[in-house]
Homo-oligomer: A and B are copies of this chain.
C-alpha cells in the first residue's frame, strides 16, 4: 500500500462512505447531506442538507444563454453521447462563468480574517471595497447583467436565517454590499453566486469547493437541455440563444 484514501471503504457486499454504511443511508439521508458528508467528512444534521439542497436548487438552470448550455447543446447537436455534451458544458465553467462563487468565498473569508484583527464586519468590508476600487477590480458575487434584485439571493439568505445557519459569511456579504453602496453611485446587490458563497462559508466549505456546487447544481439543467436538443432539433445546427422562444408552461 503506497497511498491512502479517507473517502470510501469497499468490501464484498459492504460500502462504507466516510464511516457510514452506504446502504443504511438509502432512503434516510438527503442528497444534500450526502454532498456534505463526502466533501467535509462528517454527517451533518438534516437542516444542513436542506440548505445545501436549497443552494443546488437555486442554480439548477438559467435558460439557453449561459455558455455551459450553448457548449452542451452544440456538442449534443453533433450526435455525440450524453457524457460528451455534458463534459463540454462543465468545461465552460471557469473564471467568467460560475467561478464567482470561489472568488467571493475568498473575499468573504478575508473579511472574516480581518475581524480577528479587531475590525468590525463593516470596517473589513470598507477596507476590501476601497482596495478593489483603487485597483479598479470588480468584486465577484455582486451585480448581475440582467437581475437587479435577484429573488433567489433574498430567498437563499432568508432560508439560511430560518434554519439558524446564517453566520459570519452572510454578515460579511451584507456588509460588503453596504460598503460598496457608500463608495459607488450605483448599488450592486448580492447576486446568486454571492449568496451561495456566503452560505458555503457559513457551512464551512473551503473556497476550492465553490465551483463544485455550481456544477452539481447545473448538471440536471444541462442534461435537460441535452435531451431537449436531441428530441426537438435537427442535427448539426448552430445554437443562437437570442433566437429561442420559451414555449413551456406558464407560471
Residues on A lying within 8 angstroms of B by beta carbon are 1-10, 12-27, 29-32, 34-35, 38-39, 41, 50, 53-54, 56-58, 60-65, 67, 70-71, 74-75, 77-88, 90-97, 99, 146-152, 154-156, 158-159, 162, 206, 208-209, 211-212, 215-216, 219-221, 223-225, 227-228, 230, 232-233, 235-251
Tally of this chain's copies: 4
**Are the CB atoms of B79 and A96 closer together than 8 Å?**
yes
Q: Is the CB of A74 within 8 A of B70?
A: yes
List B contacts of A14 (CB < 8 A): 151
Contact of A83 among B41, B94, B149, B239 (CB under 8 A): B94
> A250 and B152: CB pair below 8 A?
no
A26: chain B residues at CB < 8 Å are 54, 57-58, 152, 155-156, 159
Assembly CA distance A199 to B34 (angstroms): 20
Complex Cα distance, B82 from A67, in Å, reads: 16
Partner of A61, one of B7, B13, B58: B7
